Amino acid sequence: MGRVAHKEELLARIRDGAPLTLRQQLRLTLLLSFPAVLAQLSSVVMEYIDAAMVGSLGADAAASIGLVASSTWLFWGLCTASAIGFSVQVAHRIGASDRDGARSVLRQSLVAVTLFGVALLAIGTAVAGRLPVWLGGGPAIVRDATVYFRIFALSLPALQLNYLAGSMLRCSGNMLVPGLLNVGMCLLDVVFNALLIFPARRVCIAGCCLPIPGADMGVAGAALGTGLAAAVTAGAMLWYLWYRSSELRLAGTRGSFRLRRDTLRRALRIGLPMGAEHAVLCGAQILTTVIVAPLGAAAIAAHAFAVTVESLCYMPGHGIADAATTLVGQCLGAGRRELTRRFARITVGTGVVVMTVMGAVMYGLAPAMMGIITPDAAIRELGVAALRIEAFAEPMFAASIVAYGVFVGAGDTLVPCAMNLGSIWAVRLTLAALLAPTMGLQGVWVAMCVELCFRGAIFLVRLRRETWIKLPK
């Protein structure tokens, strides 16, 4: 509780215009970053668990999930963008000590993103039957890929509300509760997957055997387990936001849930470029899958597994980016330009250091990490080579991730989105298409490494120019 109280005290100093020493700035950055990193890592661990459990079913089952992975990222990203459009407004209002205004934005966001989540559900279920065929999947994996994506689409409203509630709590300065609840979601995913993927069995430990029930649903069980875990966590997150949040609690307050034009317009100004960017980026990832698909089921599975393993390395950067969004949003809401500048540099520097260390760890432990996720030797070999190529890109990848979080906190998303799009389409896809025919999967990952280094460089240039520092109106 002492750390929580100290964090609240430091955030209050931002809103009150009180000075913060460099040590206090560093401490606040760490206090906000650690729970956010924990939350991000838990979501990755959940994907890792899914991949490992399904990987034990064979290469075709693994490839069926890998085939639609980039499409699930597309829908996840759209959920995130719609939530960010409202939560950044909340951060600005809290920074300006306008709690009633922050609650008003929250009420409107609950209506808007619920409707958006239902729309995504309708789109996802409509395309599920044809999507694996469009992506070039072979007959052996199309059926499982279709089932997996359809169940995922049905869980989108729960995922949407989970993202919104977590984003609202983080932008209010509460990183701990979303972090802990996401860890709980990871644990639930393990339990649900164990019960749904595999058949009933007996597990023996130290001579003691226990019967374990199982639904024997295979790939479908992995999707259903994740959806159920997300639904339970979304309920817990919304309950805390409604009844317990010190800044945003709605219980006992009055206000309209009717959407207001100015709130929706600001949400669209912030979230629409992010959503469009993510759609195009995931289109690029889908095209990457199309480039990889002719290389065979082992390459598809290795590519998907390597992406999952690498996310253990870069998700801490996204956690620090969440802290950057909160700090920059509240500083600008309080009208503190110089403090905004300092927190931007501190968070980006922290992200680069953390992900450099994680990249080194990934390089050394790549064989063990791939070995956990799949028993197939061919898939492991391809995945290890890909991960060791990507390890060299992690420092600059960190710079782009955290700088992007800084720009989001400032409500400045259009130019960074365009930078992301230009980088991935002009550099990554061009190189991947050129290198894949001769270098195979390694060529695709060399292209990714080069592009991420380029992207980090251009983001650092924009961060230094400081054209993004604009006080909210």
Percent of the chain predicted with pLDDT > 90: 32
Percent of the chain predicted with pLDDT > 70: 95
The answer to whether residue 319 sits within a structural domain is yes
Structural domain count, the chain: 1
Domain extent, residue 264, equals 2-465
Query: Which residue matches tokens 């028993």?
Result: 375
The answer to whether residue 260 sits within a structural domain is yes
pLDDT of 392 reads 93
The answer to whether residue 235 sits within a structural domain is yes
3-state SS string over the chain? CHHHHHHHHHHHHHHHCCCCCHHHHHHHHHHHHHHHHHHHHHHHHHHHHHHHHHHCCCHHHHHHHHHHHHHHHHHHHHHHHHHHHHHHHHHHHHHCCCHHHHHHHHHHHHHHHHHHHHHHHHHHHHHCCCHHHHCCCCHHHHHHHHHHHHHHHHCHHHHHHHHHHHHHHHHCCCCHHHHHHHHHHHHHHHHHHHHHCCEEEEEEECCEEEEEEEECCCHHHHHHHHHHHHHHHHHHHHHHHHHCCCCCCCCCCCCCCCCCHHHHHHHHHHHHHHHHHHHHHHHHHHHHHHHHHHHCHHHHHHHHHHHHHHHHHHHHHHHHHHHHHHHHHHHHHCCCHHHHHHHHHHHHHHHHHHHHHHHHHHHHHHHHHHHHHCCCHHHHHHHHHHHHHHHHHHHHHHHHHHHHHHHHHCCCCHHHHHHHHHHHHHHHHHHHHHHHHHHCHHHHHHHHHHHHHHHHHHHHHHHHHCCCCCCCC
pLDDT band at 5 (very low <50, low <70, confident <90, very high): low
Q: Which pLDDT tens digit goes with each residue over 172-194?
A: 888 888 888 888 888 888 889 88
pLDDT band at 1 (very low <50, low <70, confident <90, very high): very low
The answer to whether residue 227 sits within a structural domain is yes
Q: Are 249 and 243 in contact (CB under 8 A)?
A: yes
Closest-CA residue to 445 (of 307, 311, 314) = 307
Q: Which of 72-76, 285-289, 403-407 has the highest mean pLDDT?
A: 403-407
Burial label for 448, CB within 10 Å (0-12, 13-18, 19+), is buried
Closest-CA residue to 395 (of 455, 307, 440) = 455
Q: Which pLDDT tens digit goes with each residue over 210-249?
A: 788 888 888 888 889 989 999 999 999 999 999 999 889 9
pLDDT band at 109 (very low <50, low <70, confident <90, very high): very high
pLDDT above 70: residue 130: yes
Q: Which pLDDT tens digit goes with each residue over 13-47?
A: 888 888 888 888 888 888 888 777 776 666 666 66
The answer to whether residue 392 sits within a structural domain is yes
Q: Which pLDDT tens digit goes with each residue over 344-358?
A: 999 999 999 999 999
Q: Please tell me which residue, 146 or 272, carries the higher pLDDT value.
A: 146
The answer to whether residue 340 sits within a structural domain is yes
pLDDT of 47 reads 64
| Residue type (1 letter), 199 | P
pLDDT above 80: residue 73: no
pLDDT above 90: residue 108: yes
The answer to whether residue 473 sits within a structural domain is no
The answer to whether residue 472 sits within a structural domain is no
